[in-house]
Structure 1
């Protein structure tokens, strides 16, 4: 894992990712991406949803969390690269749906399971050509039936496409 003071080497995935992020004007949290995350959370019936961009850490440029009156924990705008399920999505460059993270022993021991009680996850990579910028995902504290997997996959891919199209339109870039 790199630290914030490390400079990515030219030609590395992070250097390419940083160049695309600059071209898209992504420099930090944005109200429009928060709105995308809120819409995803509502459609998914999940308390948490994010537009997650990868740098030295995972940064939530779009974030929806429960209100302060909720019994669920509030999450911040960043997380280490080894936390959560999004690093797996970035590495494999494919969507990942875990209706019940405990059903997949590989993922059941993830730090966010203990930190905020995550039991379900669905995420899809934000891609620009061969460059993975981050993810669009939702998570929740209640497991879902395995039969919800295809529906969650379609939902997360549609929202990922909506976010990508928004970013391209805003930046005047052809996908």
Structure 2
């Protein structure tokens, strides 16, 4: 299986590099970034229309990097804000470990004929944070980043749950607005 990784803009890399020079860590070690993944979200309406595949209306709003300093692992989210980039999140511990486990599981999944494009689907409205592998001429795969679960779901399984949850959330919001 081949997983292609998009490249972030050089200005996003530069912002993260400057931030990492001041990040906490041991004196002897320096932080370095690797595995940048695009951060994507899907409008609620698009999710309710999904038919078992990634909707066309996908919005890339930033980049998530795994970062490391010696044995310490972290995750950093870099978002575009107008004409510049900002580090919006930096966390060590379980968030980074879960993403690393999901990445390793994705790389170890055996689909020799498959080629995938990797991205993070971060959809807080529905509590979804997934390593999404968009297949090229093969079914998409989804790895849960919250738990770092090593087994993937097919996109159809993933979207069946996401579509149902999006419809429930949309209905709940409409009901709330009618009461207000």
Classify the TM-score, shorter chain: under 0.3
**What's the TM-score, normalizing by structure 1?**
0.27
**What's the TM-score, normalizing by structure 2?**
0.27
- The structure where strand makes up a greater share of residues is 2
Larger radius of gyration: 2
